[in-house]
Chain A
């Protein structure tokens, strides 16, 4: 039981801190949220800088503790988050690294790490959400190509992506989980139509993607044909295990700002509100400890965190919503003004108990995989 870092880890932190202090002041200002090409350029530019400074593959190759330090320090310094690089760096990239051939790794990984190519995710479908294995997008073999038809939904960054990690049904007669394959689909292929979807927060954060006889080379399949479900599970556990580290640090900063704001506007004198803020402080401190706990586990087992990530996500997504509901309590009627800080965050926090597996599905995973309860109905 200890929280000590090795001299190498401390050295990594110090070097990173010096570098961030050097480069961040010269960084251009963030583009407006609805300017997608500018957002793409900004996010890729940041990844390029990380690459050139030697931090390109920190999400993959570093030890879990080093990755934790990286996410902690970059968030603390106010550095940009992965943004448009999310799927490439945290989904598709790790999947290709784990399951791809040497040629596939050589083709796709360097451009992700250099900040040259953006990936999006084509998993969910209108009729396959929580029940992802019900997906129906069909891939028919035709010579050296698959011919893909169907539709995908909730695809972030689809408008500016170069590649899509796509789940398709390659064997409609096999049991559901055994007829799925994982393809890398070039987004400029003929037959792809992207229709942006507006979220309840007002912005077009994701899109619907329609596929009409899109030809994808068989060489773009990662893993064996019909083994895509297993390949995908590698990606999903990666997402739940490490994707929120920076956000927990950010939430703790927001909490401090909220307290300061409450003091300014007099809400601090309300004992009930003050205690709610105190409880949230406990909550996010504990979530940080839980993160450290999971990192310690990953460090000793060498594996990507699996069901433990579900446990973390359940608690975190709920805490994030409570944080921004409390922000509204601090702001009072100002919480109806979309130009105030935290108001849009409150709206987008509502996606956290749905995206990347709903809280209900996460409860099932915790019950079945961590508690060993029989498969539910």
Chain B
């Protein structure tokens, strides 16, 4: 029994991180923010070549033949890098929609709260997006429409979204710690102050707890485990963004810094899996099922 990634899994994670650093580093991120609504098709195909979308398809069908544990690690990296686009929807469409597996076709879907991400740029929409109205999206890197009809989210989509949240939570904790170590006030690094230390420690506690829940859910694929992972990862990401912003003070409140992009993306992701109350109700009913 070991919830930590294996050597192969860590190599996959490192490879993904390196690919994203090359193809979607800080400069590409800033460029994407300057041109909202543009989807980098070349990057999308590079992801396809790397097996990002075909990861869980059987090798016989041209896929990579891996499972949810590997997918969770890869999506954590996507979340960490703030990679834009309907990644989860396209990943889930691989093997069902032609071209999705290779990154040639960009697929979006109607999410759990009726939100449709990247509708204008997608080649294929899964679910009923008829009558979808555009929103002026709070997240500069996720154009949004709202469809009248919501659908229940696929459990794998819920889990992979939780993995993206985990990636943001991890990154935000690192950013906060980096800043606390180097930023000086009152003649010493602000990380020496317990008030700041405790904010950072709280971020790590939430992130590590969420990580254990996400990895376990990837192994069991059990619905209660997936809802658990979702609630914990949402909490770690959303509160992590708040606390990271707080540790950075005024700088955290500026457009230039990447924190607000994480903050806004974590908000978008909390709706993708449907209302949090659905997960809470599921887990409440689970108590009566006598399974704990």
Q: Is A366 an interface residue (CB 8 A)?
A: yes
Chain B residues lying within 8 Å of A293, measured Cβ to Cβ, are 3-4, 208, 211-212, 215
**B197 pairs with A363, CB closer than 8 A:** yes
Interface centre among A293, A296, A364, A370, by most chain B C-beta atoms within 10 angstroms, is A293
Q: Is A26 an interface residue (CB 8 A)?
A: no
Rounded to whole angstroms, the CA-CA distance of A37 and B232 in the bound complex is 44
Q: Is B191 an interface residue (CB 8 A)?
A: yes
Q: Is A184 an interface residue (CB 8 A)?
A: no
How far is the CB of A320 from the nearest CB of chain B, in Å? 14
Chain B residues lying within 8 Å of A252, measured Cβ to Cβ, are 292
The contact string, 1 if C-beta is below 8 Å from chain A, for chain B 23-34, is: 000000000000
**A289 pairs with B292, CB closer than 8 A:** no
How far is the CB of A66 from the nearest CB of chain B, in Å? 11
**A287 pairs with B218, CB closer than 8 A:** no
Chain A residues lying within 8 Å of B201, measured Cβ to Cβ, are 314, 362-364, 366-367, 370-371
How far is the CB of A286 from the nearest CB of chain B, in Å? 4
**A256 pairs with B287, CB closer than 8 A:** yes
Q: Is B49 an interface residue (CB 8 A)?
A: no
B interface size (C-beta, 8 A): 56
Stretch in A2-10, A150-158, A199-207, A348-356 with 4+ CB within 8 Å of B: A2-10
How far is the CB of A358 from the nearest CB of chain B, in Å? 12
Chain B residues lying within 8 Å of A216, measured Cβ to Cβ, are none
Rounded to whole angstroms, the CA-CA distance of A252 and B181 in the bound complex is 39
**A279 pairs with B210, CB closer than 8 A:** no
Rounded to whole angstroms, the CA-CA distance of A9 and B1 in the bound complex is 10
The contact string, 1 if C-beta is below 8 Å from chain B, for chain A 292-328, is: 1101110110000000100100110000000000000
Q: Is A259 an interface residue (CB 8 A)?
A: yes
What is the predominant secondary structure among interface residues of chain B facing chain A?
helix
**B210 pairs with A286, CB closer than 8 A:** yes
The contact string, 1 if C-beta is below 8 Å from chain A, for chain B 251-292, is: 000000000000000000000000001011111111110101
Given contacts A278-B284, A366-B201, contact A285 B4 (CB under 8 A): no
Given contacts A263-B288, A311-B204, A373-B181, contact A285 B3 (CB under 8 A): no
Rounded to whole angstroms, the CA-CA distance of A144 and B200 in the bound complex is 49
Inter-chain residue pair count (beta carbon < 8 A):
181
Rounded to whole angstroms, the CA-CA distance of A376 and B209 in the bound complex is 24
Interface centre among A286, A374, A375, by most chain B C-beta atoms within 10 angstroms, is A286
Chain B residues lying within 8 Å of A367, measured Cβ to Cβ, are 191, 194, 197-198, 200-201
Residue of A4, A263, A292 near B216 (CB, 8 A) is A292
**A4 pairs with B1, CB closer than 8 A:** yes
Interface centre among B6, B177, B228, by most chain A C-beta atoms within 10 angstroms, is B228
**A255 pairs with B292, CB closer than 8 A:** yes
Q: Is A275 an interface residue (CB 8 A)?
A: yes
Q: What residue of chain A has the Cβ atom nearest to residue B194's Cβ?
A: A376
Residue of B215, B225, B231 near A1 (CB, 8 A) is B215
Q: Is A65 an interface residue (CB 8 A)?
A: yes
Interface centre among B173, B279, B280, by most chain A C-beta atoms within 10 angstroms, is B280
Given contacts A285-B224, A292-B1, contact A259 B205 (CB under 8 A): no
B interface vs A, CB < 8 Å?
1-6, 9, 69, 173, 177, 180-181, 188-189, 191-194, 197-198, 200-202, 204-205, 208-213, 215-216, 218-220, 224-225, 227-229, 231-232, 277, 279-288, 290, 292
Q: List 24 A-B contacts (CB under 8 A).
A: A1-B2, A1-B69, A256-B292, A275-B277, A278-B283, A281-B286, A292-B212, A293-B212, A295-B1, A299-B2, A300-B4, A360-B194, A363-B198, A363-B201, A364-B198, A367-B194, A371-B204, A373-B177, A373-B180, A373-B200, A374-B181, A376-B192, A376-B194, A377-B194
Apart from A2-B1, A299-B2, 15 more pairs, CB < 8 Å = A1-B6, A9-B1, A256-B287, A277-B283, A286-B232, A290-B212, A293-B3, A363-B198, A364-B201, A367-B191, A367-B201, A373-B200, A376-B193, A376-B197, A377-B192
